[in-house]
């Protein structure tokens, strides 16, 4: 007897068709993997806070809690008022206490990695923001404040500090106090505010 080839039952694919289907399926999966890899690399995941070695803060303290003691001491009777807001890639918390003679203000800005919207690190975004804040107001002279955060600058009684991906902004004005005293109080509050981030 000679072997005979049986016809393929209806509805089943021939060997060639199955092979062609596997090739198309593998090609499709390969293309999808390449697109996924391209998307991942475009977002620079090594800049994400979860990447090993990254040290960025996930939140900021309530500025009114940090401001409470200095406000009681410097502006008796003034009640600190909080003003939080968020926009894409930045969370900002601001608190201010003021009376007729003085104003004390503390703000935190936490910058974050944003995948494709902002593939830079939160730290790099915060550094750029700090430079932008210092560039506002022509003629202002900013002096470095050593030993405070990753970088810190002062202009009269306004202090700007960057610690990792967070910017701390402090301003204090008081018509009853000499300028040197206001500068010292603003710097002291900035140090307290940076220490509060770390806890």
Tell which residue, 54, 187, 47, has the closest CA to residue 118. Answer: 47
- Residue 146 — very low, low, confident or very high, per pLDDT cuts 50/70/90? very high
Sign of CA dihedral 180, 185, 191, 197: negative
Least confident of 28-32, 34-38, 78-82: 34-38
Least confident of 4-8, 14-18, 61-65, 87-91: 4-8
Give the pLDDT of residue 119: 56
Question: Alpha-carbon distance 129 to 92, whole Å?
Answer: 13
Tell which residue, 64, 97, 53, has the closest CA to residue 78. Answer: 97
Average pLDDT of the chain to the nearest whole number: 82
> With contact defined as beta carbons under 8 Å apart, do 82 and 63 qualify?
yes
Going by DSSP bridges, is the β-strand pair 166-174/102-111 parallel, antiparallel, or unpaired? antiparallel
User: How many CB atoms are closer than 10 A to CB 58?
Assistant: 9
Q: Give residue for tokens 């393929």.
A: 8
User: How many CB atoms are closer than 10 A to CB 194?
Assistant: 22
Give the pLDDT of residue 15: 85
Sketch the domain layout of the chain as residue ranges: 13-42, 63-198
Give the pLDDT of residue 194: 95
Q: Is the pTM of this model over 0.85?
A: no
- Residue 180 — very low, low, confident or very high, per pLDDT cuts 50/70/90? confident
pLDDT in tens, 119-131: 577 888 888 889 9
Question: Alpha-carbon distance 53 to 42, whole Å?
Answer: 20
Least confident of 83-87, 93-97, 108-112: 83-87
Res 90 pLDDT > 90: no
> With contact defined as beta carbons under 8 Å apart, do 96 and 74 qualify?
no
Give the pLDDT of residue 18: 86
């Amino acid at each position: 007897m000679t072997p005979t080839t049986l016809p393929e039952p209806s509805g089943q694919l021939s060997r060639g068709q199955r092979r062609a289907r596997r090739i198309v399926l593998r090609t499709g999966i390969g293309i999808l993997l390449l697109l996924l890899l391209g998307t991942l690399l475009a977002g620079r995941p090594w800049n994400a806070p979860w990447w090993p070695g990254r040290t960025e803060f996930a939140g900021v303290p309530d500025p009114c809690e940090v401001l409470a003691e200095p406000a009681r001491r410097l502006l008796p009777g003034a009640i600190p008022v909080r003003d939080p807001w968020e926009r894409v890639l930045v969370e900002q918390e601001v608190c201010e206490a003021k009376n007729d003679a003085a104003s004390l203000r503390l703000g935190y800005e936490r910058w974050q990695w944003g995948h494709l919207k902002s593939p830079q690190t939160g730290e790099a975004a915060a550094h750029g923001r700090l430079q932008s804040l210092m560039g506002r107001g022509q003629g202002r002279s900013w002096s470095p404040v050593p030993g405070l955060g990753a970088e810190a600058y002062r202009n009269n009684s306004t202090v700007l500090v960057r610690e990792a991906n967070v910017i701390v902004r402090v301003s204090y004005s008081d018509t009853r106090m000499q300028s040197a005293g206001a500068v010292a109080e603003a710097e002291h509050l900035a140090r307290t505010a940076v220490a509060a981030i770390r806890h």
